[in-house]
Structure 1
Amino acid sequence: MDIAELRDRILKQDRRALARAITLVESGRADHRAQAADLLEALRGAGRQALRIGLSGTPGVGKSTFIESFGIFLTAQGKRVAVLAVDPSSARSGGSILGDKTRMERLSRDKNAFIRPSPSQTHLGGVARRTREAVALCEAAGFDVVLIETVGVGQSETVVAEMSDLFLLLLAPAGGDELQGVKRGIMEMADLILVNKADGDLKSTAMRTCADYLGALRLLRKRPQDPEGFPKAMTVSALEEQGLTDAWAQMCELTDWRRANGHWEGRRESQAQFWFHEEVKQGVLAQLQTGDAKAQIAELAAQVAAQEITPSAAADKVLNALDIRTK
């Protein structure tokens, strides 16, 4: 693969080249990883930045419908939108349905939109390990907004927050105690809470749900990266495309304030450090998947089960063999 040619085609906004590059960075083959690293390094100086928006929500909340409506709203304003949708993988077979393009049929036909579903495999938070690199490729390809959809709500959503400029939490109105259904940690990460399905018979319920979350947000500790009044809770209807203009206006207001007050670049710098540490961790874990290491681990595991050696001593043997000694 000619990395220089691929780089030039991506910078010229060639969609096929972008799709090919994302396939390259998602590959686990050693030669592909080397090529992916070369490509990302070649694109590093392009200087293009997109607004990265992470989106999470419980299953059935209407994430795909919202993304499609919101994406069409943005492309109508002349913006180029990339959607990186992470599909859950089967723990048994490792396969994924990758149905997001099917569920976003209108947006997938938009010439200013690019949709790429990726399998989560076994990665934390429903975010593929290489999603961050795919975001960088989309930025280099000149997209204005990159939407990162995750599998659902959970403690591991910290991962998507570490690759996003804004983090949206999408919720649905319900008849029970909605506040008990979402972990505090998720609310503390959210920049904007959007109560979807605020239409028809559910509109009044959505308004009450929104009021509940507004009250809960006021109890949270104020974050230094937020201006007065943020984070906020709002109602939207992806089905009727209502509330999207107001939601986008709030996103722009928050983004502009963070840029003007130095939080934008600072956040991206800390995210880069986070992913450096993650790559080191993943590199160490990969060494444990080699043939010799797996054989040694299996042998020591049998000895631990037979109580011939303590778990700590067995672990030290593995780490010493990898030359990773505990202090």
Structure 2
Amino acid sequence: MDTQDLAARIAAGERRALARGITLVESGRADHRVQATEVLAALPRDRQALRIGLSGTPGVGKSTFIEAFGMHLLKAGMRVAVLAVDPSSARSGGSILGDKTRMDRLSREANAFIRPSPSQTHLGGVARRTREAVALCEGAGFDVVLIETVGVGQSETAVAQMADLFLLLLAPAGGDELQGVKRGIMEMADMILINKADGDLKPAATRTCADYAGALRLLRKRPQDPDGFPKAMMVSALTEQGLEAGWADMQALVDWRREAGFFDGTRAAQAQYWFEQDVRAALLSRLETGAAKQAMKTLGAQVAEGALDPSIAAARMLDVLGADFGAPWVDPVPDSP
């Protein structure tokens, strides 16, 4: 594969090349990982999209909201990319990858790109390589990248570590003010959107919005939030009510963070976070090769037989890993005198 040619075609905005690039970064093959790194390194560095993460429980209407919101952004003259993460089966490992079928209008637009991806074994509501897929979409010149997580609970907040804005979608009558005070995903959200605020559900949506607005006032104020944020508001993906006001609030929040210096600082912290995650993932992969794999099998069998305590076996496994790494790492760039 000519990685430089692929990177050039992605930078030119070719959707087919972008899809191929995402397939490349999602691959677990060692040679594909090398090629993916080359493609990412060759992309333009001066392009920056607004990254918006969206999370919520299954059935809250994330895909329907994304289509309506994406169409609103397209009308404003923007190019929109959607990365939809689909849950993988714990038994078969397969995924339906059907989120795109819910966005038939958006999928037909020339300035929109929709890519469903399996979560595989990665926890946190996103796929392991979603962050790299976001970088590819930025390199392709998209203005907004929407990251739709799998249907998640209160503790899956990984998407907040790759997004500039984190939106939490809730359904009407989804809980009272006590539910809103609970820590976890609630305190990570920049905006809480009560979806399906139309028809017979509108009164329930109004009560739910009031409950969560009150709960947000009880949370400790974050330094990266201006007055009035985080906030709760009602939207309807069906009637498209609240989309314009919601987008205006998102822009106001991003503009304030840029002026206050939080925007770039947050991105730098996110980059460091994913560096550490990649190192951890690489270390775990060492357990599947060479002497470490055999040691895991042997020690695991001894633990299963009751001949060895799990904590003792873990300590011995760490000794094996230490020997496997060999000499300690030395910084190739010594400190200046």
1:303: which partner in 2?
A: 302
- 1:314/1:2 Cα in 2 relative to 1: closer, same or farther (>3 Å)? same
By how many angstroms is 1:191 displaced? 0.2
**In 2, Cα distance between equivalents of 1:124 and 1:80:** 29
Matched, 1:5 2:5: yes
**How far does residue 302 in structure 1 lie from its aligned partner after superposition?**
2.0
Q: CA RMSD in A?
A: 1.6
1:118 lines up with 2:117 in the alignment: yes
Q: Check if 1:162 corresponds to 2:169.
A: no
For residues 53-76 of structure 1, give each alpha carbon's deviation from its aligned partner in whole angstroms, at most 9, with x where no partner exists: 000011111111000000000001
- Paired residue secondary structure (1:118): strand
* Whole-angstrom CA distance in 1 between matches of 2:90 and 2:177: 29
- With structure 2 as the length reference, what TM-score do the two structures score? 0.92
- Written as runs of structure 1 = structure 2, the 5 A alignment for 1:1-327 is 1-43=1-43, 45-174=44-173, 177=176, 179-180=178-179, 183-290=182-289, 292-323=291-322
SS in 1 for 2:156: helix
Aligned to 1:95, what secondary structure does the other structure show? coil
Deviations 1:169-210 (A, max 9, x none): 001102764753884211110000000111111111111110
* Amino acid in the other structure paired with 2:48: Q
Q: What is the DSSP-based 3-state SS (H/G/I as helix, E as strand, rest coil) of the residue aligned with 1:125?
A: coil
Q: Which moved more, 1:130-139 or 1:10-19?
A: 10-19
Q: How many Å separate the matches in 2 of 1:180 and 1:226?
A: 22
Unaligned runs of 5+ in 2: 325-337
* Cα distance in 1 for residues equivalent to 2:180 and 2:96: 27
Shift of the 179–195 alpha-carbon distance from structure 1 to 2, 3 Å rule, reads: farther
Cα distance in 2 for partners of 1:26, 1:196 equals 31
2:335 maps to: none
Question: Contact 1:175 / 1:205 at 8 angstroms: preserved in 2?
Answer: no
Q: Are 2:176 and 2:212, in contact at CA under 8 Å, matched by a contact in 1?
A: no
Counterpart residue identity of residue 323, structure 1: G
1:7 partner letter: A
- Structure 1 runs of 4+ aligned residues shifted over 3 Å read 175-179
**Percent of aligned positions that are identical:** 73
Number of aligned positions between the proteins: 324
Unaligned stretches of 5+ residues in structure 1: none
SS, match of residue 86 in structure 1: strand
Distance 1:149 1:324 in 2: 42
